[in-house]
Amino acid sequence: MDILTWTYILVGATFALYIGIAIWSRAGSTKDFYVAGGGVSPLANGLATAADWMSAASFISMAGLISFMGYDGSVYLMGWTGGYVLLALLLAPYLRKFGKFTVPDFIGDRYYSNTARTVAVICALFVSFTYVAGQMRGVGVVFSRFLEVEVETGVIIGMVIVFFYAVLGGMKGITYTQVAQYCVLIFAFMVPAIFISIQMTGNIFPQLGFGSTGAEGTYLLDKLDGLHQELGFAAYTDGSKGMFDVFCITAALMIGTAGLPHVIVRFFTVPKVRDARKSAGYALLFIAILYTTAPAIAVFARTNLIETVNDQEYATLPQWVENWEQTGLLAWEDKNGDGKVQYYNDKNVDFEAIAAEKGWNGNELSVDRDIMVLANPEIAQLPNWVIALIGAGGLAAALSTAAGLLLVISTSVAHDLFKKQIKPDISEKGELIAARIAAAAAVVVAGYFGINPPDYVAAVVALAFGLAAASFFPAIVMGIFSKRMNKQGAIAGMITGLLITIFYILKFKFGLIGSDSPEDWWFGVSPEGFGAIGMVVNFIVSITVSKMTSPPPQDVQEMVEEIRIPSGAGEAHDH
C-alpha cells in the first residue's frame, strides 16, 4: 500500500478512537468539566499530562532544532523537563491540597484580592492563546503534508475534532483522549528512531546508540564533530551561545514550564495530594522517553543529511530529496555551477578562505529544521506504514495540546471571570453552559489563528514562557512557602515581572523600542532567557513591598498552614 492510503487508515482509526472516547466520557457537571470530577488515577494523569505538554513543536520541530544547534539545543531538553521537578516538589501537591479549579482561583484566594485574580486571568488567557495558535497551525501543516489537502481544510478538520471532545467532554473527555494520544504519539516517535538507531549503530536503544560507534568504527559524535568542522560549523558537542545566556534560557524554560496554567491544572484532577506528587513523576517519565530520544534523532539525522548531500552530484541524490524539494522544505541552488551540492557554514568568516580554495561560492542547500523528523523515515528507507505513522503522531501531539489549552481558556472565562467576578449567583447548570460556549468560542478563535497565523507566532512563544516564569511562578511559590507574603507584595511583583519581561521582549524580539541589537542585551541575556531575570525581579519586588506593608489576615495565614499538610484534601470544591 502507498503512503497516502496508510495515512488515511492510521489517521482515520485514531480519530475514530478519540471521538469514541469523547462520547463515552461526556461531562455532567462543572466539576467533570473543569477537573474531570477529580477522580483521575495518577498513571492516567501522568499519561495525559505528557500528551498535554508535548506539542506539535516537541514532536515535529524539537529534534530538528537540536540537530542544527548541537550542544546549544540542550536548553530545550533540560528546560522542558527540569520544570517538572519544580512542579512536583514546589507546586503540585500544595495546589492539589488547596483544591479549587484554576491557578487564578489560588492567586485570588491566597492574596485575598480580585485584582490579583484578574491579573492572573489575563496572564492565563494570554499564555494559552499564544500557544494554541501554534498548535492549530501544526494540525494544518501535518494535514497538508500527509493527507494532501489544503492547510485551511486541515485546520477545519482539526477544529471539528477538538470541538467535539473539548466542548462535549471538558476535562474528562480531554483527559482520556490525551491518554490515547500519548500512546499514539510515543509509538510514532519511537518506531522510526529505533529503526534508524539499529541501522546506524546496531543499538536498539537510540539513547545509547548516539554514543556508540557507526559502521566504520568511529564514534558517531566524533564523526559528526569532524564533519561540522570540515564544513565550518562549530563542533556539534560544543555550541556557540554564551554560558550565562544558556543558563538563563534553561532557567526561563524550566520555570515557565512549571508556571504554565494548562500543565498545572492537570494536577487538580487527581483524588489525593500523594497522587499529585506521583503523577508528576509519571508525567516526567513519559515525557523523558521522547526527550531523551530526540537528541539521538538529531545526531542520526544530521549525520545522515550531511553524508547524503554534501559534495555529491545533484543528479545522483536519492528520491526523498526531490520529494521534499516539492514541499519547499528543502531547496538547492547551484551557486558555483558545478552540479554538486555544497552545504557549509558561509557565515563563518574564518572559513571563507577554505571555501574559496575549494571553489565553493556560498551555501547551496537550505533545509527546514522540521524535515529532520518528518523526512527521517524516508531518509532511512523505512516502510510506508512507518512514514504514515509520523502523520498520526504529529496530529495526536498537536490536538492533545490544543485541547488542554482550550480548556484553560474556557475555564478562565466561565469560572474565573464569569462565575467569580461578573455573576456569582449563576447556577451550576448555567456555569456549565457558559464553559461550553467559552470552549466553543475559543476553538473558533484558535482555528482563525491557525488559518491566518500571525507572523510572530514563534516569537510570542518566548513571551509565553517568559510571562509564565515572571508572573505566575513566584506568586504561587511565595503563596505556599511564605506566610508573610501579602497582596501588595504579590501584585506589585507580578506586575513589575510582567512589565519588565514584556518590555525586554518587545525591545529585543520585535525591535519596537530603540535598538534591538544583541550587543545591547542586558548581561548578554537573549529575550528567550529573560523570563529568568523577570522572575528574580518579581521575587525582589514582592519581598521588599511585603516587608513594608501589613501581613496578610489571620485566616489567610491559617489557609497557608492548611495547604502544607496533605491530609484531608478531599475533593475539589467550588466555594
Partner 1 sequence: MDNKTPQAYWKRNLSYLTILMGIWFLVSYVFGILLVDQLNAIRIGGFKLGFWFAQQGSIYVFVILIFVYVRLMNKLDKEFGHHE
Question: What x-and-dash track marks residues 261-280 binding partner 1 by CB under 8 A?
Answer: -----------xxx--xx-x
Residue 154 CB coordination number (10 Å): 25
Binding partner 1 (rule: CB under 8 A), the pick from 41, 153, 213, 229 is 213
260 in helix, strand or coil? coil
Please state, in angstroms and rounded to a whole number, the distance separating the CA atoms of residues 385 and 390.
9
Please report where in the chains the cell 477529580 appears, as a residue.
38
Nearest CB to partner 1, comparing residues 322 and 558:
558
Residue 82 makes contact with partner 1 by CB under 8 A: yes
Q: Give min distance, CB of 349 to partner 1, in A.
A: 24
Nearest CB to partner 1, comparing residues 96 and 436:
96
Q: Give min distance, CB of 293 to partner 1, in A.
A: 10
Nearest CB to partner 1, comparing residues 75 and 157:
75
Q: Give min distance, CB of 336 to partner 1, in A.
A: 35
Query: CB-side exposure of 257: number of CA atoms within 13 Å?
Result: 29
Strands (E), 143-249: none
Evaluate whether 96 touches 270 at the Cβ level (below 8 Å).
yes
Nearest CB to partner 1, comparing residues 281 and 524:
281
Nearest CB to partner 1, comparing residues 77 and 535:
77
Query: CB-side exposure of 167: number of CA atoms within 13 Å?
Result: 17
124 in helix, strand or coil? helix
Residue 190 makes contact with partner 1 by CB under 8 A: no
Close Cβ partners of 281 (under 8 Å, ≥ 6 residues apart): 46, 88
Binding partner 1 (rule: CB under 8 A), the pick from 59, 210, 351, 521 is 210
Nearest CB to partner 1, comparing residues 524 and 566:
566
Please state, in angstroms and rounded to a whole number, the distance separating the CA atoms of residues 374 and 385.
13
Please state, in angstroms and rounded to a whole number, the distance separating the CA atoms of residues 129 and 445.
9
Residue 247 makes contact with partner 1 by CB under 8 A: yes
Binding partner 1 (rule: CB under 8 A), the pick from 215, 243, 315, 548 is 243
The closest of 140, 169, 176 to 439, measured between CA atoms, is: 169
Binding partner 1 (rule: CB under 8 A), the pick from 37, 38, 64, 93 is 93
Q: Give min distance, CB of 225 to partner 1, in A.
A: 9
Nearest CB to partner 1, comparing residues 390 and 569:
569
Distances (CA, A) of 230 to 16, 191, 332, 351, 380: 50, 32, 20, 9, 24
Residue 292 makes contact with partner 1 by CB under 8 A: yes
Choose the binding region for partner 1 from 151-159, 326-334, 465-473, 563-571 (rule: CB under 8 A): 563-571
Question: Tell me, what DSSP letter sits at residue 419?
Answer: I
Residue 565 makes contact with partner 1 by CB under 8 A: yes
Binding partner 1 (rule: CB under 8 A), the pick from 65, 88, 191, 373 is 88
Binding partner 1 (rule: CB under 8 A), the pick from 114, 237, 240, 381 is 237
Q: Give min distance, CB of 530 to partner 1, in A.
A: 17
Nearest CB to partner 1, comparing residues 14 and 58:
58
Question: What x-and-dash track marks residues 49-68 binding partner 1 by CB under 8 A?
Answer: -----------------x--
Q: Give min distance, CB of 559 to partner 1, in A.
A: 13
What is the amino acid identity at position 482? S
The closest of 159, 154, 191 to 388, measured between CA atoms, is: 191
Residue 246 makes contact with partner 1 by CB under 8 A: yes
Q: Give min distance, CB of 566 to partner 1, in A.
A: 5
Question: What x-and-dash track marks residues 352-381 binding partner 1 by CB under 8 A?
Answer: ------------------------------
Evaluate whether 144 touches 162 at the Cβ level (below 8 Å).
no
Q: Give min distance, CB of 564 to partner 1, in A.
A: 5
Question: Tell me, what DSSP letter sits at residue 330?
Answer: E
Residue 567 makes contact with partner 1 by CB under 8 A: yes
The closest of 55, 64, 75, 72 to 300, measured between CA atoms, is: 64
Distances (CA, A) of 279 to 42, 73, 88, 290: 4, 27, 9, 17
Please report where in the chains the cell 483544591 appears, as a residue.
99
Please state, in angstroms and rounded to a whole number, the distance separating the CA atoms of residues 536 and 547.
17
Nearest CB to partner 1, comparing residues 273 and 408:
273
Close Cβ partners of 414 (under 8 Å, ≥ 6 residues apart): 431, 434, 435, 437, 438
Q: Give min distance, CB of 298 to partner 1, in A.
A: 9
In which element (H, E) is residue 332 found?
strand 330-332
Choose the binding region for partner 1 from 88-96, 157-165, 393-401, 453-461 (rule: CB under 8 A): 88-96
Nearest CB to partner 1, comparing residues 213 and 308:
213
Choose the binding region for partner 1 from 73-81, 163-171, 306-314, 541-549 (rule: CB under 8 A): 73-81
Please state, in angstroms and rounded to a whole number, the distance separating the CA atoms of residues 98 and 95.
5
32 in helix, strand or coil? helix
User: If binding means CB under 8 A, how many residues of this protein chain bind partner 1?
Assistant: 49
The closest of 119, 170, 131 to 450, measured between CA atoms, is: 131
Nearest CB to partner 1, comparing residues 222 and 516:
222
Distances (CA, A) of 456 to 22, 270, 355, 463: 33, 36, 35, 11
- Phi, psi (degrees; rounded to nearest 5) at 2: -85, 170
Which residues would be at the binding site for partner 1 (CB under 8 A)? 66, 71, 73-74, 77-78, 81-82, 84-85, 88-90, 93, 207, 210-213, 219-222, 237, 243, 246-247, 250-251, 272-274, 277-278, 280-281, 284-285, 288, 291-292, 295, 561, 564-569
